[in-house]
Amino acid sequence: MTTPSAAPDRAADLDYIRETLAARPLFCHFPRHLEKNFLETRVESSGFYIQTGQWPLLFMFSVIVAVAWIYFPALLSVQDYLQLKFIEIPLGVTILFIIFGHRIPVVRRHFHRVMFPVALFQLITIQLHILISAGNGYFLYSILNLLICMLLIALGLRFTFKVLLALYMTAGVAALALGAAIRLPLDMLAFGYYYGIFGAVVSALAGIAERQERFAFLQELLVNYQSEELTRLNRQLDRIAHQDALTGIPNRRSFDLAAEREWEIALREQQPLSLLLLDVDFFKRYNDTYGHEGGDHCLQAVARAIHDTLLRPADLAARYGGEEFVLLLPGADATGAAEVAERVLQAVDARRITHASSSVAPHVTVSIGVTTVTPTPGQPLQEALRQADTALYQAKEQGRHQYRVFRAPPPEEALEG
């Protein structure tokens, strides 16, 4: 699957992709980073084609060699088995390299650069074989072998149109030059038919297929970009839905979901769960004195102080509403909850947020209600919240700027109530 490139400007990429898909130019060459990704996809597809067709390819080569040895033994034995030494064995080695060389990391990293000279050697070798066998019965078979080789190079090695065209032209010129140098018979009309026309047709078909692949690559890239953008927007919406807009910490909804989940876990595993409900002391006075903007800054500072006291990933601090905050401490016993409450008091005090209208301190303070519950079947989460709220009320009644731990009333008082 195509993966989005690590382009420095994704917006520019998207503009380019949309414009190219809309215009669908006859010749399409990508910017450098997209071209690199496209070529990587072609290397992957080449590896797939080679692995899929490796055994048929070896079988076909074996049949070609067998036909030559069975039906043209005299041709193979001339000049001390020249064809075997300089044609069939080198071709077999290059075919094996194409099949298994793809698995070598350095070859895979520079696949087309490595395979270009290999393919060039194959084409030149077979053309020399055609020239050597001119005038005997193996001439036609040599031409067919060349055509098969040209097709396999175009389909299997996945060179781009420009590279494939350069490969065919270089191999043709080199073969003619070598043939003339060693005085082999040259039939230019036949060469033009079996190599020139066939190479042009194969190159044109490869170019048409590559053009469609390029558009498909851009289309897939566009879909991936849009999918990533949609995922990012969904995450952003989810964060907005679960984050308090003013303080940046989780909101009431996020707390409710986390509390229900942790309550079920605590019930199943019979583990304690602690809740801290806290309130900014004399916050209405603060708003009256410093204005709502000052009140917002105060809540933001308190939220940061509270959040910074949490030491475990599972702990959660959330804005409960107005000037109220809540802390969820899964697995924390009463001692641990009291330690967190003490840290919260100290952290808010350490901020030294001036509060001239406070009756308990010259700076902003908080009051905290603490409860620790090991849930029992049928016991609702709301009971724990009620206990924390009761403890918070006690902290306020007893002078504020402190925490109080909920204590269940004796059975007699509970009956009287």
* Active-site residue set: 323
Q: Please, what's the b/e burial string for 172-185 (b: 16 or more CB within 10 A of its CB; e: otherwise)?
A: bebbbeebeeeebe
User: For residue 253, is it left (φ>0), alpha (ψ between -120 and 50) or beta?
Assistant: alpha
Strand order in the sheet with 324-330: 316-321, 324-330, 273-280, 366-373, 403-405
Of 139, 160, 161, nearest in space to 40 by CA:
160
Residues 6+ apart with CB under 8 A from 270: 374
Q: How many CB atoms lie within 10 A of CB 253?
A: 13
C-alpha dihedral (176, 179, 183, 184), degrees to nearest 10: -100
| Longest pairwise C-alpha distance within the chain | 122
Residue whose tokens read 């402190």: 402
Are 388 and 369 contacting, i.e. CB atoms less than 8 angstroms apart?
A: yes
Structure-block tokens of residue 267: 């019930």
Indicate the burial class of 84 (C-beta count within 10 angstroms; 0-12, 13-18, 19 or more): middle
Structure-block tokens of residue 167: 């490969």
